[in-house]
Structure 1
């Protein structure tokens, strides 16, 4: 019983330390764009929690369930873009507009407009996604030879993987350690 209490004490201390270090940093959101099940692009985005807190405290019209980087450009910073697995130079990103629920990052974007060109692939992507109006969603891939491939975006689906999922992995590891200790 004494070992179990010390295990819980160590876990609580580690969890508190982990929570403090994660809250001091910006949240990294990884967004994967898939069309018809095919991974088209990946985005890594920093959500600045200080800018979010400032917008909530100072802007009476700011709604954190409809946070965006159009009116609040300091909220989101695009860190990296991959197009069919190939990194895109951020200088080649013409447009990145997003709206999301800052209170629940697991929902992904409610609105996303993305326009960029990949020098390595010699192709570009213009993508519009609006969760509220899926019939107007589309993607256009522009190839260097002038060929355009337009895909009806109503078949597009997103999955989002926020970095703070480390808590879930940590909890699972602690649970497995407890089960192992119980059996011994």
Structure 2
């Protein structure tokens, strides 16, 4: 008598084969972007020009900090000269550390770690489109408007804080 073997093992083999194929194709679906893909995105999104625009702003903040340091202390001519040399050296170090030549490899590495090839290509296509270019063109104005709106919103809060500080400062000492 011939005994029929249930079809379950064949079904299991097919299921296992499908599972192996699915797992093998998963990395292909989430393939990492190439350096070329990322360079395309960085170019389309104007990453270098945005960095170049930020650098003078960072330097201006640094100058303000040095001016505050100088204003808080009475510096003689020699100390002022030393402070200016430190400021110039700090500015030069900042420019070197934040140069595109130094940061581009970091950007490429971080984009590789963060985004899939599909993500990078989709973003590059968007930034290459007229809508993406319009976004890039209008982002500085948007950021300026956001800062003005935030300052307007914060003004009453700072006024309240100033009142609280005045009360504390003008409060007679308790003995």
State TM-score, norm by structure 1: 0.26
Larger strand proportion of the pair: 1
State TM-score, norm by structure 2: 0.27
The structure with the largest alpha-carbon Rg is 2
Larger helix proportion of the pair: 2
Higher RCO (CA-CA < 8 Å; seq separation 6+): 2
